[in-house]
């Protein structure tokens, strides 16, 4: 699986290049209520997972190498590690599903949301962040397609929306190639050059813009 391979390759570099994920994770944590039984969907190396407060935690990721890093940080006390996709886990009774910058990798977000809801207790909470349309819009590259804020809201029609906001986060890099490496080193190796020029020859500073959506909903 290409996505899994990309994240496995990025595992050793992830923690030193995940400033965006740390920033969005802090924001999402500030919105997230306390909960006993939690799943972190796309936990990665566990760098944000370490800040969750729980009695029982499920740490889920598709990448075995990222999960191995998470185990080193988190240990095994009241934690169950799941090497699965978003749609493969089942039979849980969760108070909270937490997903920081991960659900954009779902092959079918509508299906994924239904599966998450099936594993939440009544009035359980889903808190998630993800990039939206407008992300990378200023670059001369094509990337994976992102949903709009309105499209995500439409997919949440069966949920009670408690919080839904967007934020633009920007990072300045010395060149386009350095900007693209920052994406690659957190596993998101999905872009193509649209200009026909060799990217490595472009030495001008590059501003990488992310349009981030934050959502907190109840089942």
The helix-helix angle for 64-74 and 2-10 (nearest 10°) equals 40
- Residue ranges and CATH numbers for the domains of the chain are 2-133+145-168+212-218 (3.40.50.150)
- Which are the contacts of 28, defined by CB distance < 8 A and separation ≥ 6? 98, 100, 127, 128, 129, 214
pLDDT, tens digit, for every residue of 24-79? Answer: 999 999 999 889 999 999 999 999 999 999 999 999 999 999 999 999 999 999 99
How far apart are the C-alpha atoms of 59 and 77, rounded to whole Å? 12
User: Is the distance from CB of 141 to CB of 177 less than 8 angstroms?
Assistant: no
> Dihedral, CA atoms, 174, 167, 39, 21, nearest 10 degrees?
10
* Percent of the chain residues past pLDDT 90, beyond the cut: 66
- pTM for this predicted structure: 0.90
Beta pairing partners, 83: 61
The Cα 156–Cα 151 span in angstroms is 9
Give all strands (DSSP E) within 101-159, no chain letters.
Answer: 120-131, 141-143
The pLDDT tens digits for 134-150 are 998 877 665 568 999 99
């Amino acid at each position: 699986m290409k996505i899994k391979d990309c994240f496995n390759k990025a595992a050793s570099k992830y923690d030193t290049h995940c400033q965006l994920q740390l920033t969005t994770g802090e924001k999402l944590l500030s919105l997230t209520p306390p909960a006993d039984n939690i799943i972190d969907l796309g936990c990665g190396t566990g760098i944000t997972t370490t800040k969750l407060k729980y009695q029982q935690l499920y740490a889920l990721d598709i990448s075995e190498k990222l999960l191995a890093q998470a185990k080193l940080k988190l240990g095994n006390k009241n934690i169950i590690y799941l090497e699965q996709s978003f749609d493969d886990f089942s039979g849980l009774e969760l108070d909270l599903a937490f997903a920081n910058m991960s659900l954009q990798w779902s092959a079918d977000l509508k299906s994924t949301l239904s599966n998450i809801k099936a594993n939440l207790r009544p009035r359980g909470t889903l808190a998630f962040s993800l990039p939206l349309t407008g992300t990378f819009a200023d670059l001369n590259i094509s990337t994976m397609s992102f949903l709009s804020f309105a499209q995500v809201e439409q997919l949440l029609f069966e949920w009670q929306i408690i919080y839904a906001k967007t934020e633009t986060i920007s990072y300045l890099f010395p060149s386009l190639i350095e900007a693209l490496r920052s994406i690659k080193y957190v596993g998101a190796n999905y872009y193509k050059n649209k200009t026909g020029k060799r990217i490595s020859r472009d030495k001008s500073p590059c501003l990488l813009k992310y349009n981030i959506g934050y959502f907190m909903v109840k089942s």
